Amino acid sequence: MQVYCGLRPVRVDQLSLPQVQAALTGAGLRVATGPFNCLLRSDIPAVAPELAQNYAHHRLLGPEEFIDFHVAVNSSRGLRRWVRPQALFSVDGVEPFTPLPRDQALPMIEWGLNWCITAYSNHVLILHAAAVARNGRTLILPAPPGSGKSTLCAALVNRGWRLLSDELSIIRLDTGAMLGLARPVNLKNASIGVIQRFAPQALFTRPVHDTTKGTVAMMAAPQASVEAVDEPAWPAWMVLPRYRAGASTALTPMPRGEAFMKIADNAMNYHILAAEGFRAVGDLVDRCQHFSFEYSDLDEAMQVFDQLALSTADANIV
């Protein structure tokens, strides 16, 4: 059901595609993504329909609300606007990246927003990890590229877990609570087809080929995850996943000392936070159960995590 505040649309899906396009090429599309408010601009026509799909259920910001990141992905200037056209990312007038081919403009927005958060948000602990929640408790999935982290994250959110983030687990330094973004899940290469078959109801952007990550496509966050983005979630499990073809499904307890090192290695601002970062990682280790996880079958993996959630259903959140 559409909800309006007066005559002003309050969600992206309440705008028509021409309105989204006009906002992107004009004053900007003002969108809330969890604790961060973003203003998005782009003069590349192909961006509007897929961005509207990815952020359909996100809240539109009013003109009086503070913007954290003023982001633009526009056509490059000069000859590159016409010959092998490129897209250029900027945030608050700064251009931190080299241009990419124009057909990579949409994933460039997502990669750029991740960069903005990690570069400018040292009031929180940021892990390079997926985070999903059930019953207010969060499963953190840190892992290097190629581990199957995003595939596992996408599968879980299509089986009833709430998406906080595919790439960045964000933890408050004062309370240890997890903050959600509910932005699209970035899937790569074979994982795209795997999740399309596993969850045919999921909404995907068109695949973009020949990026530095290979072929990429974005899966929109489920509506329920977006609508619950501000609900409290608390760390409960840290699981280091590893996909290996043909492997048996195995969840193995991890010693706390090893868990501390794994989390610290994946903490993107640990060195900047210094003593505060050490304390935050230590608190996170104390709050969570820790495991390594090897899998090759997604259905078996879902059963393991459903059982894990049930096994501590009566545990204290804090």
For the segment 3-46, what is each residue's pLDDT rounded down to a tens digit?
344 457 799 999 999 999 999 999 999 999 999 999 999 999 99
Total domains in the chain come to 2
Whether residue 103 is found in the same domain as residue 224: no
> In the prediction, which pLDDT does 81 show?
64
Residue 148 has pLDDT above 90, yes or no: no
| Residue 103 located in a structural domain | yes
Q: Write out pLDDT tens, residues 248-259.
A: 999 999 999 999
| Residue 167 located in a structural domain | yes
Whether residue 87 is found in the same domain as residue 154: no
> In the prediction, which pLDDT does 164 show?
98
> In the prediction, which pLDDT does 82 show?
66
Domain boundary among 120, 145, 164: 120
Backbone angles phi, psi at 4, to 5 degrees: -120, 145
Whether residue 267 is found in the same domain as residue 298: yes
CA 119 to chain centroid, in Å, comes to 16
| Residue 317 located in a structural domain | no
Which of 79-88, 236-245, 248-257, 284-293 bottoms out in mean pLDDT, i.e. has the lowest? 79-88
> In the prediction, which pLDDT does 3 show?
38
Report the chain's mean pLDDT, rounded to a whole number: 93
Q: How many CB atoms lie within 10 A of CB 286?
A: 11
Query: What is the extent of the structural domain holding 60?
Result: 4-120
Given a contact cutoff of 8 angstroms between Cβ atoms, the answer to whether 289 and 256 are in contact is: no
Whether residue 128 is found in the same domain as residue 249: yes
Q: Is 186 helix (H, G, I), strand (E, B) or coil?
A: strand
Q: Which residue from 258, 242, 259 is spatially nearest to 250, judged by alpha carbons?
A: 242
Give mean pLDDT, residues 242-266: 95
Whether residue 172 is found in the same domain as residue 263: yes
| Residue 114 located in a structural domain | yes
Task: Compute CA distances 201 → 131, 148, 169, 175, 245, whole Å.
Answer: 21, 21, 26, 36, 25
Domain boundary among 102, 120, 138: 120
316 pLDDT band, cuts 50/70/90, is very low
| Residue 318 located in a structural domain | no
Determine what percent of the chain is predicted with pLDDT higher than 90: 89
Residue 2 has pLDDT above 50, yes or no: no
Whether residue 141 is found in the same domain as residue 215: yes
> In the prediction, which pLDDT does 313 show?
47
Identity of the residue numbered 115: W
Whether residue 153 is found in the same domain as residue 300: yes
Give mean pLDDT, residues 72-99: 87
| Residue 30 located in a structural domain | yes
79 pLDDT band, cuts 50/70/90, is low
Whether residue 177 is found in the same domain as residue 224: yes
Domain boundary among 120, 144, 171: 120
| Residue 316 located in a structural domain | no
Q: Which residue from 122, 116, 106 is spatially nearest to 220, judged by alpha carbons?
A: 106
Whether residue 25 is found in the same domain as residue 92: yes
Whether residue 156 is found in the same domain as residue 105: no
List alpha helices for the chain, DSSP H.
17-25, 47-54, 105-120, 149-157, 190-198, 223-227, 256-266, 270-273, 275-287, 298-311
Whether residue 82 is found in the same domain as residue 34: yes
Whether residue 108 is found in the same domain as residue 145: no
176 pLDDT band, cuts 50/70/90, is very high
| Residue 64 located in a structural domain | yes
Six-digit token string for 287: 């709050």
* Cα 25 to Cα 21: distance, rounded to the nearest angstrom: 6
